[in-house]
Structure 1
Amino acid sequence: MSKDFIGYYQPSKDDFADLWKNGTIIIDANVLLNLYRYPASARDDMLRVFEKFKGKLWLPHQAMLEYQENRLGVIADQRVKFRGVKKLIYDTQDNFRNKLEELQLRKRSNIDPDKYLKSLNDIYKQFEVELDNLFNGQMDVSDEDEIRIQIMELLGENIGECPFDQKWLDDICKEGEQRYLQRIPPGYKDNEKSQGGEPCHHCGGLSFERKYGDLIMWFEIIEYAKQNSLDKIIFLTDDNKGDWFWNVDSDGKKTIGPKPFLVNEIHRKSNVKLFYMYTTEQFIKYAKEKLQFQVKPESIKQIKEATDKKIPFVIEPSGIPSTLKIGVPTIRDILSEDVENSLKRNVFDWLVSTFPCDNITDNTSHFDIVRISSDDHIFGYDFKGIGYLAQRSLDSLLIDYYYIAARYKLHGWNIIIPVSSSHFYMDTLIRRLKKDNIPDNVVISIVRPSSGSEYKTVYMLGSSSNCDWVYKP
């Protein structure tokens, strides 16, 4: 087999066994940051798995820099979400009570709602007490960080050194400009990192341009492999965008492995013969299988729930009434890549032509597209499969909106759902959503293909549907 096509082939069973036994495990920053988002039991299981590989772990300097820069923000976010859940409790109680009052049951029926309200209030109070206990135990930004202490103990000295000069970084950024234009991995989906925040990290007297962070880390991995004559590498990352992983749409998104280009490049530029990538969820599942390691099934489930989300948050369920166990759901679901890209191009082009003076960015961290108007109002646009709202309640949507509206000072959120011309669920979905009170400044747009790759809005729900910021070609 030509080495030019090595990336298109999966390692053999023997190769995988050799990789797990003798490979170096390189960790991305997002894997460490997600440890703060897991429930304590899942985090402990993950750290115990890492302990099995102590001495074989390595963290690139770029990953350490991004971890240190983002650590406090992740800790703060977890506390914000507790307040969002608490607000949901109050709002749900008030809404339910008001709806009952509107029915005037005491006057017009023999139903006495008071005893049911009391039972419901008791459950809510129990949940609120448990939530307060969890919140009080949640780490704050000024607390001693036990998670970081454990991470540093696991890594020891196995952390990449700061690049030796600015020229090395500048050359990577210059090359990155051309690679991103040609959509050469990794990192070309991170162009927005220069928007809405500081464009650079600064460390050791050097400047690290944020949007080239993945590429800097990738070149650092290749350089580390060359200098240390590594021939087997597992790269662990929770960045499951299409510029790292080879994803194929086959009855839903299937991850085949690393992008073939990445495998070919590290083979070509170093002595690495075996290179493979896992998300944390995949890694802990295979660790359980290959190491006969005791990992609780609930931990794997919680890790998947957290790492699948762009703004993940999981409440430890211990002690919470089973009727009220909550994990705040995902902010964005992934459609098939072809549909998402086609629809995204339509919406992006429509926004550019409709708002030529605004700053419009796609592939952002928390929204598919963000528009910042000339008066600094922020609008988010997300694309969902029709199953997104089929599987969710309005309360779940409210949790998302309360959090992101406060966190990002959002003025509007447009959820865009593509359907085929004869989708059997669309009418049912519309009827159900009509009964719900869509939050102010949230609009759900249902769109259909019209001609070629064009889409046409066929239905909108939400009190702000007539506003100019809503996608309606």
Structure 2
Amino acid sequence: MQGPGDALPLIRQYRDWLQGSPPEDSPERPKFFTHGTVVLDTNVLLSLYEYTPAAREQVINALTSVQKRLWLPHQVGLEFVRGRHRVIAERAKALKDAPGLLNRKLGDANRAVVGARQFVQELLVKYAWDTEASESLAAKISSQAVDALLSEWKKELISLVQGLKDHDLVPASVEANDPVLPQVAELFGPNIAEPPHPAEIRRRVDEASSYRFPNEIPPGFSDSGKGTPLAAAGDFLLWEEVVEFLAASPERKRLLFVSRDTKEDWYEPEELGRGRRPWPSLASELRMRAGAELRIETPGQFYRGVNRFLDAEIADETYEEIDRAAEAADEVTITELEAPHMEPPSELVLSAYSAAGLHNTSLPRELLPHLRNVLNWWLIGVTAELERRPLYEAEPRITVAAAARSASPPDPDWLPGNCLRLGEWPYQSSSWIAPWFAHIVNIASPGDRKILQRLAAQQLDSKASD
């Protein structure tokens, strides 16, 4: 609803900044579903691999209600086909690690109860000289007694975790018989973008790294410094494709962009009296450059809107899965892309080195900072995975790998197993070695070299036993 002052130039020009986050009951919202161009971010498509088969079927069916208005940017398509295996592999790893993590948490619970008992014992002896009560307490609340109390809960929790492995997708299925990819391809049909010209991609990457990111102009500036400039500019490349597409199509007056990415390079920080909202500058830029209106929604908002405005049938349980997948996206994951550019917390590094039997100062001093970061993150991840140390609270998930066993290398830069010393590395002819790991191992001292290779081999062995 327009107010009497809406026609004034200042009010009109800065209306995106003056308005709050678009409400879900806005009278304009249904038009984005019935007449707008709908663009799904990569994370929305990859979520299809995380849903149960029943939920995935409902989501795909719901998306067919907006099929004619769907459009797939090249950047999204590229990230989707490249990221499928990673999503399934991360899910498989999380489920594989779950029983060990559960056992560690139950062990922590045992130690916490015993610690509380010891605290009370100290009080009894110190302030009441009641050694009899102290000894009675020790006999009643022993570690064995706590384990006995926890045993039934432990069986139930382990059973539930093991039941989660009953799923139709495993890493090998993505290679041999991916059930999701054909459905996504059929959903978009011919409504996909051609790759931009390499010269145009280079121009956009240069614009992102030299102007937009240093000035924190959304979207994507939070990715600055992650990996290569091309990789860091992914969100901006997507944005430019969308703006160009709508600008070339005068009949397209609305864009409904769906993403579970709510970081500060898409959403403005929350202010007193107002919740978080997508950056108003995004709506202003799209209107100025393409003459189109913008609405950004999370997957949960979008699918509820599809249900509401287009009568798609989605069960409450499916909404819960959609919301959980979006919440899981907020968990920090350290990959090969982020690891070189992020220095891990010192307490995690010290804990990992101690668990591995290494000394932080024993590694070559000439090791470049980005290689040391990768090594440190890998050590943090592998020592947790092999249960060499307890997990810290809010410790990130780490997917950095030192070696792999597969028919082809995970990346063209990876080296065959025989690049490591014969007699120290057991998988000379059946493995691939990450180049950073090969470099560090080959310049490390004999003692450190053997420790590093032993950890990498044990990590491979643990994966082979899945």
The TM-score range, normalised by the shorter chain, is 0.5 to 0.7
After superposition, residues 52-131 of structure 1 pair within 5 angstroms as 52-94=65-107, 109=139, 120-131=150-161
1:50 shift after superposition: 1.0
Q: Match of 2:179, as an amino acid?
A: E
Quick one: which of 134, 142, 149 aligns to 2:164? 134
Greater shift after overlay, 68-77 or 134-143? 134-143
Q: TM-score w.r.t. structure 1 length?
A: 0.59
TM value normalised by structure 2: 0.60
Q: Secondary structure at the match of 1:128?
A: helix
2:247 aligns with: 226
Deviation, structure 1 residue 216: 1.2
Match in the other structure for 1:5: 14
Task: Name the residue aligned to 2:231.
Answer: 210
**How far apart are 1:38 and its partner, in Å?**
3.4
CA distance in 2, matches of 1:153, 1:254: 38
Secondary structure (helix, strand or coil) at the match of 2:169 reads coil
**Runs (5+) with no aligned partner, structure 2:** 1-6, 118-133, 334-344, 346-365, 381-389, 403-466
What SS does the aligned partner of 1:249 have?
coil
Match of residue 367 from structure 1: none
How many residue pairs get matched? 330
Residue 397 of structure 2 is aligned to residue 404 of structure 1: yes
* Matched letter for residue 306 of structure 1: A
- 1:114: Cα distance to partner? 7.8
Q: Distance in 2 between matches of 1:40 and 1:109?
A: 50
Partners of 1:97 and 1:277 in 2: CA distance? 46
1:21 aligns to what? 34
* Correspondence for 1:285 among 304, 307, 318: 304
Letter in structure 1 aligned against 2:284 = N
Q: Please give the alpha-carbon distance, in whole angstroms, between the structure 1 residues aligned to 2:223 and 2:142.
A: 57
Q: Does 1:173 align with 2:186?
A: no
Cα distance change of structure 1 residues 17 and 94 upon mapping to structure 2, 3 Å threshold: closer
What is the CA deviation profile of residues 42-91 of structure 1, one whole-angstrom value per residue up to 9, with x for unaligned ones? 43443232121111111100011111122111110001101221102333
Among 166, 179, 182, the alignment partner of 1:146 is 179
Structure 1 residue 284 displacement after superposition: 2.0
Q: Measure, in 2, the Cα distance between the counterparts of 1:113 and 1:377.
A: 34
| Contact persistence 1:84–1:399 (CA under 8 A) | no
Distance of 1:21 and 1:193 partners within structure 2: 37
Q: Report whether the alignment pairs 1:184 with 2:203.
A: no
Larger radius of gyration: 2
Contact 1:105 / 1:111 at 8 angstroms: preserved in 2? no
Aligned to 2:276: 255
CA displacement at 1:283 relative to structure 2: 1.2
Partner residue in 2 for 1:296: 315
One-letter identity of the residue aligned with 1:216: L
Q: Helix, strand or coil: the match of 1:31?
A: helix
Query: How has the CA–CA distance of structure 1 residues 166 and 302 changed in structure 2, closer, same or farther, with 3 Å as cutoff?
Result: same
Structure with the largest fraction of helix = 2
Structure 1 vs Structure 2: percent identity of aligned residues? 21
CA contact (8 A) 1:25 1:236 kept: yes
Cα 1:400–1:35 shift into 2, 3 Å? farther
Unaligned runs of 5+ in 1: 201-208, 312-329, 333-346, 348-356, 361-370, 382-395, 411-473
Equivalent residue for 1:377? Answer: 376
Question: How many angstroms apart in 1 are the aligned matches of 2:281 and 2:66?
Answer: 28
Greater share of residues in strand: 1
Q: Say what the alpha-carbon RMSD is for the aligned residues.
A: 4.1
What letter is aligned with 1:302? Answer: E
1:270 to 273, 286, 290: 290
Question: In the superposition, relative to structure 1, how do residues 99 and 238 fare at CA in structure 2: closer, same or farther (>3 Å)?
Answer: closer
Q: What aligned pairs does 1:383-402 form with structure 2 within 5 A after superposition? A: 401=395
Give the C-alpha shift of residue 359 in structure 1.
Answer: 8.2
Asked if the contact 2:114–2:143 (Cα under 8 Å) also holds between the matched residues in 1, the reply is no
Q: 1:161 aligns with which of 188, 194, 211?
A: 194
2:385 corresponds to: none
SS at match of 1:54: helix
Q: CA separation of 1:359/1:228 partners in 2, compared to 1, >3 Å: closer, same or farther?
A: farther
The one-letter amino acid paired with 1:212 is A
- Tell me how far 1:22 sits from its aligned partner: 0.8
How has the CA–CA distance of structure 1 residues 279 and 375 changed in structure 2, closer, same or farther, with 3 Å as cutoff? closer
Indicate conservation of the 8 Å contact 1:6/1:263, yes or no: no
SS at match of 2:264: coil
